[in-house]
Amino acid sequence: MEIRTIEAKKALGIEATVAADKLPENIGSMYGELAAFMQKKAIPVTEAPYVLYKNMDPQALQIVAAFPVSQDVQTEGRIIMTEIPGGTFVHCVHKGPYTELEKTYAKVMDYIIEKKVETQEWMYESYINSPEDTAPEELLTELFFPLK
């Protein structure tokens, strides 16, 4: 767990409002759509994919699933140019299944209280490896909580 400063990152993404229990299938289809577009246009990914959570309403999560890219791209359909804003973040890495992320979230909340820092309403997760080719106990997910 650490406080880290990060520069803004350009990305290609798709925005959606999704119930928490429907996240896996929605994120999977969003990434599939983005990957197909990027492959068709020969757009390289510059970093791990992420999901930005604009709110924490489990019934209506406002999310952006995205792949960082190095340049602006002409988009089509529901694919948009977006970015992760730069700034100072509480950062940590979760190792293990996505179903156990809430344990790491609890540790982050304890750290935020201990350090007496205030976070903004949004946060994002970055997925270092993929459940398609990684055992659940080896999955790595970075968590970023922006400070006010």
| Mean pLDDT score across all residues of the chain | 96
Q: Tell me the pLDDT tens digit for each residue of 57-112.
A: 999 999 999 999 999 999 999 999 999 999 999 999 999 999 999 999 999 999 99
The whole-number pLDDT of residue 48 equals 95
Residue 22: which pLDDT band, with cuts at 50, 70 and 90? very high
The whole-number pLDDT of residue 50 equals 97
The whole-number pLDDT of residue 74 equals 94
CATH number for the region 2-146 comes to: 3.20.80.10
Residue 3: which pLDDT band, with cuts at 50, 70 and 90? very high
User: Among 63, 33, 35, which Cα is nearest to 124's?
Assistant: 63
Whether residue 123 contacts residue 53, with contact meaning beta carbons closer than 8 Å, is answered with yes
Q: What is the SS3 assignment for 145? A: strand
DSSP category for residue 43? P
In one-letter notation, the amino acid at residue 39 is: Q
Q: Which helix H or strand E contains 127, and what residues bound it?
A: strand 123-127
Residue 18: which pLDDT band, with cuts at 50, 70 and 90? very high
